[in-house]
Amino acid sequence: MTDDILALTARLAAEPDSLAFLALGEALRRRGQFDAALAIALRGLQRYPMLGDAHDLVARIHSDRGEGDLAFDAWTEALRHDPSHVGARRGLAFLSFRAGDLEWAERHLVAATEVAPDDPGLRAALQRVQERRRSLPAASPAPASLVPEARGSLLVDGQGRRLAGSLAAVGGEDVSDAMAGELAGVSREAARAARLLGFGGWRGLAVECPDANLHLLPPTEGTVLMVMAEPATPAGRLAVVAERGAASARRWFERLQ
Partner 1 sequence: MSTAFSAVLDGLTRVPGVRSALLVAADDGLVIAESSMTDVEPAAVAALAASLAARLARAVAITGYATPRSFHLEATGGGLMAAPAGEGLLLVAVTEPDANVGLLRLALRDAAERVG
Q: Does residue 39 interact with partner 1 by CB under 8 A?
A: no
**Shortest distance in whole angstroms from residue 79 CB to partner 1:** 11
User: Does residue 159 interact with partner 1 by CB under 8 A?
Assistant: no
- The CA distance from 152 to 163, in Å, is 14
Say if residues 177 and 162 touch (Cβ distance below 8 Å): yes
User: Count of residues for the chain?
Assistant: 257
Contacts of 94 (CB under 8 A, 6+ apart): 63, 105
Instruction: Give residues with Cβ within 8 angstroms of 30, minimum separation 6.
Output: none
Closer residue to partner 1, CB minimum distance, 16 or 201? 201
Sequence letter at residue 72: F
Q: Which is nearer to partner 1, 129 or 163 (CB)?
A: 163
Of 63 and 213, the one with the shorter C-beta distance to partner 1 is 213
Tell me how far, at minimum, the Cβ of 246 lies from partner 1, in Å: 13
170 near partner 1, rule: CB under 8 A? yes
Q: Does 202 bind partner 1 (CB under 8 A)?
A: yes
Q: Would you say 44 or 165 has its CB closer to partner 1? A: 165
Q: Residues 55 to 94: which contact partner 1 by CB under 8 A?
A: 80
CA 104 – CA 164 distance, rounded (Å): 10
